[in-house]
A and B are shown apart, each in its own frame.
Chain A
Amino acid sequence: MTSGAGFQSRQREQKGDAASARDEILMSRVVQGDHEAFSLLVHRHTPRMYALARRISGLSAEAEEILQDAFLRVWVNAGTWSPQKGTFAVWLGRIVVNLCVDRRRADRYEPWGDEEPLIEADDDLESELFQQQQAEQVALAIEELPMRQRTALVLCYYEGFSNAEAAEILDISVGALEALLVRARQALRERLAPLIRT
């Protein structure tokens, strides 16, 4: 079974807790103004956080801006971070999700250029086109979900956050998060029923 890129990278990270421990050590150096530690953190978390912002916001240009804004906040407000606030990934995830929500509340962002295609063309054009259409329908169905349901699904299903971490990011209980996930999957099952049957 294929999974989201974020989920797979998360699986690799979880082979040892060393990665998360290094994050906290790096962050303590960032608090002291260490440029190299900040660069390492940015390179390490950009792919996953970009995917998170991209899936919630829906646009690549907007995701780039959100990620940029999030890391600028991390650098400027590094002094407010402490290990008691949870892991760095959860803290950063919360910043990214909050920025996505803020942008959703504001007027819909209009990109300057055309959006990049979701999937690049392959040899078997017909099959590829069909798959691309299906992927677009899935993306549309997810985009139509209420914000909290969509965010919960993206965090847990696509980006590999545990239910406890996702609950912390959304500032809700684990039970409430599970309820959001159940409702999200039920809604998607109904909306994607014609595709699922084929």
Chain B
Amino acid sequence: MRFTRLKHYFEIFGADTRRWPKKQHGIWRRLAGSTHCQAERTEAERLDRMLDLWQVEAPPDRLAQRIIHQALALPQQPVSASALPADIVVWPFASYWPGVATFGLALLMGCLLGWYGETNGTTSEDWLNTAALSPMQEDFSDR
């Protein structure tokens, strides 16, 4: 399992173990030198040699000065809430609060409607009570 991972590291990062992840670096370095992965290491070294041929020139000397000169002439944007000092309390999970508030409001409205409907429901049901319609029944009944 470890050697499979080792071979995979050669494919990902190349032969130079300094480019490999820092976690358990010593173990990987020792294993990389073993004979178990000779073919993978040789292959990776060949490709690394090719990649190292591609060097780029250093930046022009004037570049940094030009950048500084141009940038400092511009005004800065005001400081956002994320850059506030630590002693200012910012609500955690700020993006969730509008959703929570909306849900709470909807729940409250639902409860109120339910309660209102229930209290008024009795009267409406009373209105529909057939017993209450009995006097009217006489008007429509066949005599």
B93 at the interface (CB under 8 A from A): no
Judge whether A75 and B63 touch: CB under 8 Å: no
Judge whether B75 and A68 touch: CB under 8 Å: no
Judge whether B46 and A79 touch: CB under 8 Å: no
Q: Is the interface of A mostly helix, strand, loop or mixed?
A: helix
Judge whether B68 and A38 touch: CB under 8 Å: yes
CA distance A72 to B73 in the complex (A): 10
Interface size on B, residues (CB 8 A): 45
Q: Using known A-B contacts A7-B19, A38-B68, A138-B53, determine if residue A79 contacts B12 with beta carbons closer than 8 Å.
A: no
Judge whether B54 and A139 touch: CB under 8 Å: yes
User: For A43, what are the chain B residues with a Cβ–Cβ distance below 8 Å?
Assistant: 64
The digit string for A178-198, where 1 denotes a CB below 8 A from any CB of B, is 100110011011001001100
Judge whether B82 and A80 touch: CB under 8 Å: yes
CA distance A158 to B13 in the complex (A): 11
Judge whether A79 and B57 touch: CB under 8 Å: no
5 example contacts (A-B, Cβ-Cβ < 8 A) are as follows A31-B83, A38-B71, A54-B56, A74-B71, A189-B43
**A contact set with B: CB distance below 8 Å:** 1-5, 7, 11, 31, 33, 35, 38-39, 42-43, 46-47, 50-51, 54-55, 60, 63-64, 67-68, 71-72, 74-82, 84, 116, 118-119, 131, 134-135, 138-139, 142, 156-158, 160, 162-163, 178, 181-182, 185-186, 188-189, 192, 195-196
